[in-house]
Chains A and B, each alone.
Chain A
Amino acid sequence: MSLLELHSINKTFGPLKALSDLSFAVGHSEVVGLLGDNGAGKSTTVNMISGIHRPTSGYISVDGIRQDFANRRDSAEAGIETIYQNTALVDCLSISRNIFLGRELTDRFGFLDLRKMRDIAMQVLESAVHISGIDSPDKMVGDLSGGQKQAVAIARAVFFKRRVLLLDEPTSALSVRETEALLNQVLKLKAEGVSSVLVTHNLYHAYQVCDRFVIMSHGTKVFDVAKADTTIEELTQHVVLT
């Protein structure tokens, strides 16, 4: 049974048809590349899986159980974490406060357990995410580089035991070295049983780490293939020509 599955999803925004009859699945410990040119409907798909948009028809299932995400918290509870291009972090808060934002550790009066949050943040940053330059969880996120910010977002996902990471154009703002580190991180998480959906139009980055590719065009799936059965040339053709 697939971990995450989309069942013939349609989505319209008024007269605009954003997605039509889109179905695909993400297996356990699998990295799927969701590819397509600009405007193919990738971002709408991501927003749908993370609960920001609701499908007009069709549905999403996790572990075969039908889900109805009304907001991002619902998808997070089902084990899905979305990491956006402009990662959803607040620059003027520290790393540890960002990791726990919206899920703060508090006493029963709502006061923050800053020490515990700090200790856990430090642990997660040391053990789960290996991006250099983050030496203290008290650092302001605004002072971090693009790669470090994504590392913090991933650390957040790891700590909250997400099973699927949705990475929306994760490499577009990163340096070459940071991109390498991020892709390695995806593979490392896969080894630990965390699946990822890599949404990108950079086929080379996707080809490096993905087990399977789903190519979208004009709001629907046009190609779905395992890495072993295809080549980067064939993928390029499908992205460009459809």
Chain B
Amino acid sequence: MDRTVTEMTHTHAAAPSRSARDWLYRLLSMPAGAILLVFLVVQLACILAGLLFPDDFRYLSSANMGIMMRSVPVLGCLALGAGVLMIAGEFDLSIGSVYTLTAVIMAMLVGLGVDAFLAAPMGLLVGAVIGLGNGFLTLRFNLPSFIVTLGGLLFWRGAVLLINGAVQVRFDPNPVFNALLSGTILGINAAFIWFVALCFGFWAVMHRHRLGNHIFATGGNRAAATAIGVNTGRIKMIAFAIAGFLAAFAGILATTRVGSVQPGQGAGLELQAIAACVIGGLSLRGGRGSILGVFLGVMLIFTITDVLLLMRAPGFYLDMFIATLIVAASIFNHGLDRRGAES
């Protein structure tokens, strides 16, 4: 990452200032350009600080890198699902609860003797079906998905306590399953590899596949997409299912990493996932955004969290920083939206 920055800074310095400004303008007008710039600057600063003060600021230590790679994928997968759905023009506030519910179901099944390789797909299926249910209620009764999934958030949170009670569930899968989802390959955490692979997969779907084109069109202008023959109801259902599916996948990653499920563990994650999307440049009104933006939004949240932890800042700073980041990102994106609408 640091090499890219230096290379770019070199071309920067060599070129006349006019083209440097053009280049900056082009970067900023890219879907995730601004966030990419912020991310690169933050990374560069962290790496420099890590090199200058290796004892006080252990950013580059392998322990710190390991913690980062283990903590990113859970929120990352939730944010990917939330992001795809946001681009389609809908919200899902229930993903935090679905994440816990599907993890509890999977862990209970494994506790009952079901193989983890069978229990995990069942968890994913439950997640996707709940997503479809949210979509059905939203579309059939023409409700705001915000309300429907707010109901889902409370309902499934309660359902976890109903089927399991307020105790933690141990998750003890077979070693192969463990290695595939939380092992380490060439020094890189398996969950992180899954997350990056999913990012590439969804990048291809959203930006290079017909389905993604239709998802953007549905979120951007549903009436137009319908008029041109896109089945926008079906597209939204698919997006809801993706959000539920990825919430369940995040649940599997988290559960395998920790080895148990806490019934209250998903609370607040849905908002963090949406926050990551907003920071990554997705429009709350749908139709705008990119997978790279979601990825960078998640990475930025964790980088800043990490920096504050390394500097031993009290926890409340964290929330305040992320809050500032969300609002700043929205102000910037709103400016872009408005410029697009006016011209």
Contacts and interface: CB of A to CB of B under 8 A. Distances in A.
B204 interface: yes
A92 B288 contact: yes
Contact of A112 (B213, B220, B228, B343): B213
A113 to B, nearest CB: 10
A89 B210 contact: no
B234 interface: no
Contacts, number: 76
Contacts of B219: 92
A101 B213 contact: yes
Nearest to A87: B224
Interface in B179-231: 204, 208-211, 213-214, 216-217, 219-221, 223-225, 227-230
A71 interface: yes
B340 A90 contact: no
B297 interface: no
B167 interface: no
Interface string B332-343: 000000001101
Contact of B229 (A72, A106, A110, A140): A72
B284 to A, nearest CB: 13
B96 interface: no
Interface residues of B, number: 24
A142 B214 CA distance: 17
B225 A90 contact: yes
A86 B230 CA distance: 17
Interface of A: 52, 71-73, 76, 82, 84, 86-93, 97, 101-104, 106, 110-112, 114, 140, 142-143
B287 A92 contact: yes
A89 B287 CA distance: 12
22 contacts: A52-B227, A71-B229, A72-B229, A73-B229, A82-B227, A84-B227, A87-B224, A89-B221, A90-B221, A91-B220, A91-B340, A97-B213, A101-B214, A101-B217, A101-B225, A102-B214, A102-B228, A102-B230, A111-B208, A112-B208, A112-B209, A142-B340
A76 B230 CA distance: 13
B220 A92 contact: yes
Given A93-B216, A111-B204, A112-B210, A88 B228 contact: yes
Given A88-B223, A90-B287, A101-B230, A110 B209 contact: yes
Contacts of A110: 209-211
Nearest to A100: B213
B319 to A, nearest CB: 31
Q: Which 6 A-B pairs have the closest CB atoms?
A: A88-B227, A92-B220, A88-B224, A92-B287, A90-B220, A102-B229
B279 to A, nearest CB: 19
A72 B227 contact: yes
Given A72-B228, A92-B287, A92-B288, A104 B210 contact: yes
A106 B204 CA distance: 13
Contacts of A88: 221, 223-224, 227-228
